[in-house]
């Protein structure tokens, strides 16, 4: 089959690789119907994370189950399934605590799992899925083509934006600021609106993303960044800042901006992979601003969000503003790197 | 009157100072019945915080109201009152949000306030209290002598321990680890028990403090620190750590120990003044451990905790294991510095 391999900085290739095979009784083989490129894929693409040897890449996909192991009981051949951006058994204590990204037996796409060997990266034609019963969620029926993008966001960005809002503890009637206008930040707007926030500020300076932010529920746009952005936010909210801030970038600057934009006693929900080093405690301590979040346990959110995606009451699939065949995966990376696209959907 | 002045490292003196006078309509003059030395007073005492010029010190006191300004409406002359470790109007937006330590018009004892000039430090005979209606809480009746220590803890340590537990979000049936066996840490045990924690681990290697910890509700004692302490905690709790960790020290080591002792998805409530520099994000992000807390808004907790102190259903006054006349204030500091006492109560 064909699958995407990263060789180094700005070197993405689609290659022939071995077809996956069932290697434990709990596996499934899924034929990928749609995959995509994540903002975090850009870290190795840009060389910020060095690529020491070529390896598979991609961690978001939806598809159709082609084979299952003997021990798989809830997932059936022919099911259309959503995979979270990691595999998990969904039964261990961390999964039961709602933190399936810390599953005691879980793993990551494009790497060896803990039992059955290699689990394929998602930007390819097929994936071996460990713990199929735990990892995969089947849709009630075969989705329409128009539903595919929305379902694909449940693999990562919609669940991750939701995790930011849940980690912050967004409440009905509250004020929310979203730092970051990538796909995750935009989905965090949907999440804040779902949870009843009365005012949602998108911090964005890109006209096309501002349009999506408004569609998703942003009531205000702030283009300023850093100290100017913080001053604007405080001015908007009683001089003190917003109840909740959702940090969806991960740099030191964005985290500092998020902390300073929260009111005393406010909470920052963060899901941006931290790339900026340690964070100063005094700005948190002095104003009683908390931070909560991390690598988003999206598996646990799929069942909750799925009906709203299928009914169209939320439309996170709107973050895909470019669709390409898998053969053009290198162009998909380039389009996102150059910010010509918010997020690129790939069809094998 | 006499009041305590710090001159520099290990140089604490009781001196004659001017009597306080009413300087705004909202002031009260309170005769101090009991004051005490705080763990945070030891930072300048030990020279960790340099003392550039002599100044008043102390921020915990209870007493009797001697005079009130013309605008004071809820506090009366003769009332026995508890003062939080700061003054606040209790009406501004931050106070209404429960963060009275960020009061827009508040201030600190032993410093100039924002309206009426100097507000005395608490380790003295009298204190001018700005915003008396907002800052002070009167007891329903004149307390007995035996009730004084418990009431005095509501000025800081009991409310601060409670803030750690509330900031973490301790829930009924949860598991809690308390890092720090000073007066605040011990009070955090009371707070965790009040909130229904089913298992409370005190991290302590001092026999006398372990006794108090057990009295307050600790179900387990762990003497190990650092990596060994973390390993012990994880071993006790399913190999993953506790639901909530209350950090009541403030050093880099104690904060790192607290973060590592929380389970994935757990929460650290912290109230120790951060003295250790910035905190690494990856251990928080990777395991979804949040941190919340800060300078404790104890004013808002006094009404809730007061009935339980008066009834004796909680006994935080037990943290005072040494009582001295105000004249011996220098010895009070030395006893705490040398850990001969958990906390020293001073009677003017």
- Using CB atoms, which residue from B99, B274, B285 is nearest to A265? B99
| Cα–Cα distance, A68 to A77 (Å, whole number) | 7
Tell me which chain B residues have a C-beta less than 8 angstroms from the C-beta of A98.
265
- Which residues does chain A have within 8 Å of residue B99's beta carbon, measured at their own beta carbons? 263-265, 287-288
Residue B309, φ and ψ in degrees, nearest 5: -70, -45
pTM given for the model: 0.96
Nearest to A319 by CA among A210, A187, A217, A221: A187
Smallest CA–CA distance from B239 into chain A, residue: A93
Q: Do B292 and A267 touch (CB under 8 A)?
A: yes
A95-112: pLDDT as tens digits: 999 999 999 999 999 998
Residue B115 pLDDT = 79
Residue in B with minimal Cα distance to A296: B288
Mutation target among B245, B251, B294, B299 for the A interface, most CBs of A within 10 A: B294
pLDDT in the model for residue B98: 97
Contact A97 B265 (CB under 8 A): yes
Contacts of B264 in chain A (CB under 8 A): 94, 97, 99, 101-102
Chain A residues touching residue B292 (CB < 8 angstroms): 267, 288, 290-292
What DSSP line would sit under A277-303, residue for residue? --B-SHHHHHHT-EEEE-S--GGGGHH
Query: CA angle at residue B329 from B323 to B332, to 5 degrees?
Result: 55
Query: A–B: how many Cβ contacts below 8 A?
Result: 120
B176-223 pLDDT tens trace = 999 999 999 999 999 999 999 999 999 999 999 999 999 999 999 999
Record: contact B274-A255, CB cut-off 8 A: no
Place of tokens 């904060």: B255
Q: Which residues contact B222 (CB under 8 A, 6 or more apart)?
A: B177, B201, B202, B203, B204, B229, B232, B233, B236
Can you tell me whether residue B323 is helix, strand or coil? Answer: strand
pLDDT tens across the length of chain B (348 residues): 999 999 999 999 999 999 999 999 999 999 999 999 999 999 999 999 999 999 999 999 999 999 999 999 999 999 999 999 999 999 999 999 999 999 999 999 999 887 788 999 999 999 999 999 999 999 999 999 999 999 999 999 999 999 999 999 999 999 999 999 999 999 999 999 999 999 999 999 999 999 999 999 999 999 999 999 999 999 999 999 999 999 999 999 999 999 999 999 999 999 988 888 899 999 999 999 999 999 999 999 999 999 999 999 999 999 999 999 999 999 999 999 999 999 999 999
Instruction: Outline where B140-293 has alpha helix (H).
Output: 148-153, 157-168, 183-194, 207-216, 226-236, 252-261, 282-287
**Pair A80, A62: CB distance under 8 Å:** yes
- CB-nearest to B265 from A99, A238, A279 is A99
Chain A partners within 8 Å of B287 (Cβ):
99, 102, 294
- For chain A, residues with pLDDT lower than 50 are none
Best probe of the A interface among B169, B249, B279, B288, by most A CBs < 10 A, is B288
**Top-tier CATH class for A158-293:** alpha beta
- Going from N- to C-terminal start, the domains of chain A cover 2-156+298-347, 158-293
- Which residue out of A264, A280, A301 would a mutagenesis test of the B interface target, given it has the greatest number of B Cβ atoms within 10 Å? A264
* Distance to chain B for A162, nearest Cα, Å: 14
Contact across the interface for A281 and B280, Cβ inside 8 Å: no
Looking at the partner chain, which of A98, A287, A295 has a beta carbon nearest the beta carbon of B294? A287
Fold type of domain A2-156+298-347 = Quinone Oxidoreductase; Chain A, domain 1 (3.90.180)
DSSP state of B18: P
What is the CATH class of B2-156+299-347? Answer: alpha beta
Q: Do domains A2-156+298-347 and A158-293 have the same CATH topology?
A: no
- The closest alpha carbon to B110, from B48, B51, B47, B33, belongs to B51
- Shortest CB distance from A293 goes to which of B167, B264, B288? B288
Residue of A104, A292, A298, A300 for testing the chain B interface, max B β-carbons within 10 Å: A292
Q: Write down the ipTM of this complex.
A: 0.96
**Number of Cβ within a 10 Å radius of residue B161:** 34
């Amino acid at each position: 089959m064909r699958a995407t391999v990263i060789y180094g900085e700005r070197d993405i290739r689609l290659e022939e690789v071995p077809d996956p095979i069932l290697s434990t009784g709990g596996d499934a083989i899924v034929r990928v119907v749609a995959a995509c490129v994540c903002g975090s894929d850009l870290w190795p693409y840009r060389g910020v994370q060095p690529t020491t040897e070529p390896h598979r890449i991609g961690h978001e996909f939806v598809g159709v189950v082609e084979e299952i192991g003997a021990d798989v009981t809830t997932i059936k051949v022919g099911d259309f399934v959503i995979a979270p951006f990691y595999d998990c058994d969904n039964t261990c204590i961390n999964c039961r605590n709602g933190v399936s990204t810390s599953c005691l037996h879980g793993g990551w796409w494009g790497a060896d799992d803990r039992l059955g060997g290699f689990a394929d990266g998602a930007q390819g034609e097929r994936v071996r899925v460990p713990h199929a019963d735990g990892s995969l969620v089947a849709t009630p029926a075969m989705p329409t083509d128009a539903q595919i993008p929305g379902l694909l966001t449940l693999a990562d960005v919609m669940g991750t934006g939701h995790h930011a809002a849940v980690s912050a503890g967004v409440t009905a009637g509250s004020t929310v600021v979203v730092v970051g206008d990538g796909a995750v930040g935009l989905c965090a707007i949907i999440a804040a609106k779902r949870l009843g926030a009365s005012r949602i500020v998108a911090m964005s300076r890109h006209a096309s993303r501002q349009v999506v932010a408004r569609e998703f529920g942003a009531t205000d746009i702030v283009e300023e960044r850093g100290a100017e952005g913080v001053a604007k936010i405080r001015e908007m909210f009683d001089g003190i800042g917003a109840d909740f801030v959702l940090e969806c970038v991960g740099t030191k600057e964005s985290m500092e901006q998020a902390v300073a934009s929260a009111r005393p006693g406010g909470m920052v929900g963060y899901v941006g992979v931290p790339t900026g080093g340690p964070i100063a405690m005094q700005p948190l301590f002095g104003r009683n601003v908390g931070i909560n979040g991390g690598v988003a346990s999206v598996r646990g959110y799929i069942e909750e969000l799925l009906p709203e995606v299928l009914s169209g009451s939320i439309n996170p699939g709107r973050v895909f503003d470019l669709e390409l065949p898998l053969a053009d995966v290198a162009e998909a990376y380039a389009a996102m790197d150059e910010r010509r696209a918010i997020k690129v959907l790939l069809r094998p």
